[in-house]
Amino acid sequence: MGTLWFWIVVLMLTAYVVLDGFDLGVGAIYLFVARTEPERQQALRSIGPVWDGNEVWLLAAGGTLFFAFPLLYASAFSGFYLPLMMVLWLLILRGISIELRGHSTDPLWRTFFDALFSLSSILLIVFFGAALANVVRGVPLGTDDYFFLPLWTDFRTGASPGILDWYTILGGLLAVAALALHGALYLALKTEAALERRALRIARRLWPIAILLTAIDIPATVIARPASLNNFAGHPIVFLIPLVVLASLATMRFTMTRQSRLTSFLSSCTYLIAMLVGAATGLFPVLLPAVGSHGQDLTVARAISGPHTLRVGLAWWSVGMCLAALYFGIVYWLFRGKVPTDAEGYGH
């Protein structure tokens, strides 16, 4: 049961990264890719009907984590207190900038919210990447299973790391490259004309950076937490995961020049899924590794909820996920195809 819930949470977080990832990525490149007012409206319209629903995956994953692994929720959320609060502020700023931008035609008003949208998107991606890296690297858990991480110490991994060290900064940078690329491919898929061409050009430039950072990050993970390799050593079949990463990156580049937008975007989805599944495989059955000499790793077995809670949860979770998949199917189907360039034509 614990194993099942571990992968359920991984599934939901992966859905969050793949879905909200593209609208965050659009935000990250927004100022560079969309230059004129019609282009900016076009870029925003491509994510308008879906970004809010994409963000729900974060909340739904958080809620699931809360009831399936209460000890992890309590320990990790209070331990990552400061960066989490900053994530909340960034989510607030990003949400209002998308919504409020259109409430005035004043160019100053729009310029302000454009910048806020892009900046908060970039910072959110950095925080999410660094957060994942923090979980992979481990935290100084105490004997009471709690910890409190400062924002930085000496920027080294080891017994007393901070939120930011060389490894987590690398994770943040990789996340920016990967999601900006993801967003660029989404824009290329959903928009037309100059915007589409520019999005594709940005994607081509980001691609080698993403490759390079991925190539650095995988060995860096082994240095930051050697135990990450345990599951790989025990089950050689999981070496397929890095192969999928490579294959998806190759497909992405190949299809970018061959005008198959959907395939490029789906390769990017596959790349993100493989990276996250790889990270989760490296962790399992640990949820939050301990560094230093005090506490023990927070494992699935120690953090899992009571059996009855989990049984009941599985019943409604399955129903709920089918419904959610149905809603997403309807929305993405109705808003399929490219966003028209003329402003009046969209949706009205």
Partner 1 sequence: MDALTLHRIHFAFTITYHYLFPQLTMGLALLIVVLKTLALRTVDPEASANYDKSSRFWAKIFAINFLLGVVTGIPMEFQFGTNWSEFSRRTGGVIGMPLAMEGIFSFFLESAFLGLFLFGEKRLSRTMHWLSAVLVFIGSWISGFFIIVTNAWMQHPVGYTLLPNGVYEVASFRQLLFNPWAWLEYAHNMCAAVVTGSFVMAAVGALYLLQNREGPYGRIFLKLGVVAGFISCVLQVFPTGDLHGKYMAKHQPTAIAAMEGLFHSEKGAGMILMGQPNYDAQTIDNPLVVNKVLSFLIYGTTAAEVQGLDHFPRDQWPSTLPLLFYSYHIMVGLGTWFGALMAIAAFLLWRGKLYAANWILWPILLSWPLPYIATTAGWMTAEIGRQPWLVYGLIRTAQGSSIHVTAGNSLFTLLGFLGMYTALSLLWIITVYNHIQTGPQAAPHAAHTDSVTV
Interactions with partner 1, residue window 84-113 (CB under 8 A): 84-85, 88-89, 91-93, 95-96, 98-105
Residue 299 is inside which H or E element, if any?
strand 298-299
Residue 286 is inside which H or E element, if any?
strand 286-288
Q: Looking at beta carbons only, is 93 or 246 nearer to partner 1? A: 93
CA atoms of 56 and 52, how far apart (whole Å): 7
Least spacing, CB of residue 218 vs partner 1, in Å: 30
Site for partner 1 in 21-80 (CB under 8 A): 41, 44-45, 47-50, 52-53, 55-56, 58-60, 62-64, 66-71, 73-79
Give yes or no for a contact between 303 and 287, defined as CB atoms under 8 angstroms apart: yes
Least spacing, CB of residue 154 vs partner 1, in Å: 21
Q: Looking at beta carbons only, is 61 or 256 nearer to partner 1? A: 61
Classify 259 in phi/psi space as left (phi over 0), alpha (psi -120 to 50) or beta.
left
Least spacing, CB of residue 99 vs partner 1, in Å: 4
Sequence-distant (≥ 6) Cβ neighbours of residue 134 within 8 angstroms: 80, 149, 163, 168, 171
Site for partner 1 in 255-284 (CB under 8 A): none
Site for partner 1 in 309-348 (CB under 8 A): 309, 312-313, 316-317, 320-321, 323-324, 327-328, 330-331, 334-335, 343-344, 346-348
Q: For 340, which DSSP code?
A: P
Q: Does 246 bind partner 1 (CB under 8 A)?
A: no
CA atoms of 343 and 339, how far apart (whole Å): 9
Least spacing, CB of residue 78 vs partner 1, in Å: 4
What sections of 257-306 are H helices per DSSP? Answer: 261-283, 300-303
Site for partner 1 in 130-169 (CB under 8 A): 144, 146-148
